[in-house]
A and B are shown apart, each in its own frame.
Chain A
Amino acid sequence: MAAGVAAWLPFARAAAIGWMPVANCPMPLAPADKNKRQDELIILNVSGRRFQTWRTTLERYPDTLLGSTEKEFFFNEDTKEYFFDRDPEVFRCVLNFYRTGKLHYPRYECISAYDDELAFYGILPEIIGDCCYEEYKDRKRENAERLMDDNDSENNQESMPSLSFRQTMWRAFENPHTSTLALVFYYVTGFFIAVSVITNVVETVPCGTVPGSKELPCGERYSVAFFCLDTACVMIFTVEYLLRLFAPPSRYRFIRSVMSIIDVVAIMPYYIGLVMTDNEDVSGAFVTLRVFRVFRIFKFSRHSQGLRILGYTLKSCASELGFLLFSLTMAIIIFATVMFYAEKGSSASKFTSIPASFWYTIVTMTTLGYGDMVPKTIAGKIFGSICSLSGVLVIALPVPVIVSNFSRIYHQNQRADKRRAQKKARLARIRVAKTGSSNAYLHSKRNGLLNEALELTGTPEDEHMGKTTSLIESQHHHLLHCLEKTTNHEFIDEQMFEQNCMESSMQNYPSTRSPSLSSHPGLTTTCCSRRSKKTTHLPNSNLPATRLRSMQELSTIHIQGSEQPSLTTSRSSLNLKADDGLRPNCKTSQITTAIISIPTPPALTPEGESRPPPASPGPNTNIPSIASNVVKVSAL
């Protein structure tokens, strides 16, 4: 519950008087205010700067240092004040959190110092208000990256003999500066990539004439030499690829990565060529395959950080570039169509079709103007000039505007995405807080009931159960309890509600079946069947018997209300699964009988006798969860 709102709890409770005439049942007793102290000022001395506040202000958040009894450790008897040897600047923010309920992050503060202070005072940073949350997260992320970088460089320098051979190899591949061998490997592969690319290029240069034949490209003249070079390069690349294939921790992911695909594409043509040399028909295709050898140049991106960044930039601007391309395409199609129809009339026109006019349009719009296609008609010339003028506008002018615009929109989108993610996170936090408070109520109900059940047997085990809830919390829970009494319905959590829905839809089991359960008198507990109203007689009769047996296990009972619904997923498996859970106590023959379900704790309300006794027959048929919980444990 928010801090300031806790101050309005008296008002909410007073307003509850409005329900009283409507309610049919008596209300539960209010929690007693044991220590009704007058509100007093307390002095907090933080490194010499004195802060003063009301005691109740600090008690709004009982699970922090200042709100709990932990601050008594810092109480100075001589000066009658609480002394903290911490930063007073950050303490200002912390104290404002107690006052206003909102935690702010000052921008000038170092993030790790701030985190340390928050940890000291027991405040979770997640509750930083939305106004400062983005800044906080950004700084936190930067800090984390810095720490990671530091760690990485640390790791690189220290030797790690415990790594396996495979792991060392992977590290060597990813980061050539780790060892000399890796560096050598790195440079060797780089050299061979360069050699391979240069070979491909030089192959096609005409190499001077061999006497008696026409001019040949070098590739054909010194074909053996070039072939040897190519073989050497491909062998090196193959070995490298195989080594890279062996090393990574996740081979599947490595195979799918871009670099490995480039590697494969770079060396495949050679092997395909080896296989296919004798077949003349496919030599044309083989020649085409050689084009792919140029992809070896992309292998350089492993060696060049800049190339990688360029590739990443293009990938991230893909949508903007796509839009640019799309608008260009539109303009090209428009102008090509216009030019085609304009030039249709002239004879010997090169504009034979619209696709043929595309070439003209592109050349004109990019202001290249090769001159291989020129319009001859007047209309064609007019439209051609419009085309070239608009080309300047379409391409040259907006590109910087678009680029800067899209960069701005891109960042805005990032921020919008961030804000959306933060909004989701914020709503999730609010939801968690809400369910936390509603769950807190349900938990305290179960705890309270267990406490009362404990008191039935009169053992001083009350220390085990339930944590001490603050006075405000107990008053709030009392208020919710009054609401339950007014409306004669109870709060339950979502899973139980769905179970109930399932049950009520399957209410075909007649109540006549339940007497068959009562035919097993030997059972201390029976499988549960739940009708619309429960009896409260059973627990009192059963509890003492089972309670004595399981006294020591009580402290280990976890209220498994939330676990149990997982047992009951489908109707058909309902009986079986419930049997699994309560096997020692239920006879499996009861599968045919009434609905087995896990009842909710609130059934056990010793004070709730005002609820009319249910119509179900026999006390043996019903069992509240407390007993069933106990039963589960005592089944040992």
Chain B
Amino acid sequence: MGAVMGTFSSLQTKQRRPSKDKIEDELEMTIVCHRPEGLEQLEAQTNFTKRELQVLYRGFKNECPSGVVNEETFKQIYAQFFPHGDASTYAHYLFNAFDTTQTGSVKFEDFVTALSILLRGTVHEKLRWTFNLYDINKDGYINKEEMIDIVKAIYDMMGKYTYPVLKEDTPRQHVDVFFQKMDKNKDGIVTLDEFLESCQEDDNIMRSLQLFQNVM
């Protein structure tokens, strides 16, 4: 009898402990909060001035009081700028490009590092960042499927009401044009060097990369 009671009690305690852990886990998740490194360190790491970092952080913290952006919030924020269509796929790829450490959340340092490259970086850095964005599986090569995904995501942002009417194979055609330009050795994939070379040959691209110089 005592043995039975003993096993019962041990069973119960075993069951009770995981549930307590679960509560603690839940508590942990809700109070996760991140504070960025110091202002001086960020200023050293990025190309922004202190004032600009201040403005950036205020906006960032306002929208994400916990200090990190998760993918859902990221998608919501990005979707606000594109009311016509569905920006969630492109936002997903953007998120993966921002989240360099693949942790599932973007901290302020990641955010500011990426912005520094995009707004204040050299052409080389910008192109490399873009290559990283297109390379969905981060294997160092862009193949056609990845490109089609990206282009389709861009077209999704246009929404339904466009002129001319979006057809099914428009993204694919667009990708074909892209690959014709970028894929030098016609092996079906674009490497980083091919990408850099082709972009630097194209004046349009070079000019448009400088477009957002004065964003901050």
Tell me how far the C-beta of A628 lies from the nearest C-beta in chain B, rounded to whole angstroms: 16
Alpha-carbon distance between A186 and B29 when the two chains are bound, in angstroms: 72
A491 near B161 with CB under 8 A, answer yes
A16 to B129, CA, bound (A): 12
Question: Roughly how many angstroms separate A350 CA and B37 CA in the complex, as a whole number?
Answer: 95
- Could you say which of B2-10, B12-20, B38-46, B148-156 contacts chain A? B148-156
Q: From known contacts A15-B118, A17-B209, infer whether A487 and B216 are also in contact, taking CB-CB under 8 Å.
A: no
Measured between beta carbons, the chain A residues less than 8 angstroms from B216 are 10
A489 touches B158 (CB 8 A): yes
A494 at the interface (CB under 8 A from B): yes
Asked if A438 meets B162 with Cβ closer than 8 Å, knowing A5-B77, A22-B150, the reply is no
Shortest CB–CB separation between residue A169 and chain B, in angstroms?
56
Binary contact readout B76-95 vs A (1 if CB under 8 angstroms, 0 otherwise): 01101111100000000010
Q: Say yes or no: is B58 at the interface (Cβ < 8 Å to chain A).
A: yes
The prevalent SS among residues of B at the interface is helix
Contact with A along B172-216 (1 / 0, CB 8 A): 001001100010000000000001000100001101110110111
Separation in Å of the A524 CB from the closest CB of chain B? 26
User: Number of contacting residues on B, CB 8 A?
Assistant: 59
The residue of chain A having its C-beta at the shortest distance from the C-beta of B150 within the complex is A22
- Given known A-B contacts A18-B94, A22-B154, A27 and B163 have beta carbons under 8 A apart: no
B80 to chain A, nearest CB (A): 5
Q: Does the CB pair B204–A491 fall under 8 Å? A: no
Cβ of B204: which chain A residues have Cβ within 8 Å of it?
23-26
Q: Once the chains bind, are A20 and B130 in contact (CB under 8 Å)? A: yes
Contact of A21 among B114, B115, B205, B214 (CB under 8 A): B205
For the complex, what is the distance from the CA of A23 to the CA of B181, rounded to whole Å? 12
Q: Find out whether the CB atom of A38 lies under 8 angstroms from the CB atom of B215.
A: no
Q: Mark A467-499, 1 if CB is under 8 A from B, else 0.
A: 000000000100110111011111111101100
CA distance A39 to B214 in the complex (A): 16
Q: Does B22 contact A (CB under 8 A)?
A: no
Evaluate contact between B161 and A26: CB separation under 8 angstroms: no
Max chain B Cβ within 10 angstroms of own Cβ: one of A20, A25, A54, A501: A20
Q: Is the CB of B126 within 8 A of A17?
A: yes
Interface residues on chain A, number (Cβ under 8 Å): 63
Residues of B within 8 A of A500 (CB): 163-165
Interface hits, B63-107 → A, CB 8 Å: 63, 77-78, 80-84, 94, 97
Minimal Cβ-Cβ distance residue in B for A504: B165
* Given A7-B59, A25-B204, A39-B55, A13 contacting B165 (CB threshold 8 A): no
In chain B, residues 19-63, which have Cβ atoms closer than 8 Å to a Cβ of chain A? 51, 55-56, 58-60, 62-63
**A residues in contact with B141, CB < 8 Å:** none
Across the interface, B115 reaches (CB within 8 A) one of A1, A11, A476, A504, namely: A11
A109 on the B face (CB < 8 A): no
Q: In the assembly, what is the distance between CA of A39 and CA of B160, in Å? A: 39
> Once the chains are docked, how many angstroms separate the CA of A27 from the CA of B129?
20
Given A8-B59, A8-B77, residue A490 in contact with residue B212 (CB < 8 A): no
Query: Do B130 and A30 have beta carbons less than 8 Å apart?
Result: no
Q: How far is the CA of A32 from the CA of B212 in the complex (A)?
A: 11
B162 and A492 form a contact (CB under 8 A): yes
Contacts of B162 in A (CB 8 A): 487, 489-492, 497
When the two chains form their complex, are residues A27 and B208 in contact, meaning their CB atoms are under 8 A apart? yes
Contact present for A18 and B155 (CB under 8 Å): no
| Measured CA separation A188–B208 after assembly (Å) | 90
Say whether B63 contacts A8, CB under 8 Å: yes
Contact A30 B214 (CB under 8 A): yes
Cα A437 to Cα B115 in complex, Å, equals 26
Q: Does A12 contact B (CB under 8 A)?
A: yes
- Does B159 sit within 8 A of A, measured CB to CB? yes
Contacts of B163 in A (CB 8 A): 489-492, 496-497, 500, 600, 602
Q: Does A4 contact B (CB under 8 A)?
A: yes
| A19 contacts B by Cβ under 8 Å | yes
- Whole-angstrom distance between the alpha carbons of A556 and B171 in the complex? 41
Mark A311-336 against chain B: 1 for CB-CB distance below 8 A, else 0: 00000000000000000000000000
Q: Which of B81, B94, B118, B160 contacts A497 (CB 8 A)?
A: B160
Would B63 and A5 count as touching, CB distance under 8 A?
A: yes
Q: Which residue of B lies closest to A600 (CB)?
A: B163
Residues on B with beta carbons closer than 8 Å to the beta carbon of A10 = 56, 115, 119, 215-216
Among B81, B126, B159, B212, the residue within 8 A (CB) of A491 is B159
Assuming A15-B118, A23-B204, A489-B162, is B212 touching A9 (CB within 8 A)? no
Give Cα distance in the complex from A252 to B196, angstroms: 80
Within the assembled complex, what's the spacing in Å between the Cα atoms of A125 and B109?
A: 38
**Interface contact B51-A22, CB-CB below 8 Å:** no
Which residues of chain A have C-beta atoms less than 8 A from B178's C-beta?
A: 21-22
A277 interface hit (Cβ, 8 Å): no
Q: B215 touching A14 by the CB < 8 A rule? A: yes
Q: Which residues of A contact B151 (CB under 8 A)?
A: 22
Contacts of B62 in A (CB 8 A): 4, 7, 99-100
CA distance A595 to B134 in the complex (A): 42
**Nearest Cβ distance between residue A491 and chain B, in whole angstroms?**
6
| B136 interfacial contact with A, CB 8 Å | no
Q: Is the CB of B83 within 8 A of A434?
A: yes
Closest to A8 in B: B77
5 closest A-B pairs by CB: A7-B59, A14-B118, A497-B161, A489-B162, A27-B208
11 contacts between A and B (CB under 8 A): A7-B59, A10-B216, A13-B215, A17-B212, A19-B154, A23-B205, A26-B204, A491-B161, A491-B163, A492-B161, A504-B165
| Inter-chain pairs besides A8-B77, A482-B211, 6 sampled, C-beta below 8 Å | A17-B212, A26-B204, A487-B174, A496-B161, A497-B160, A533-B164
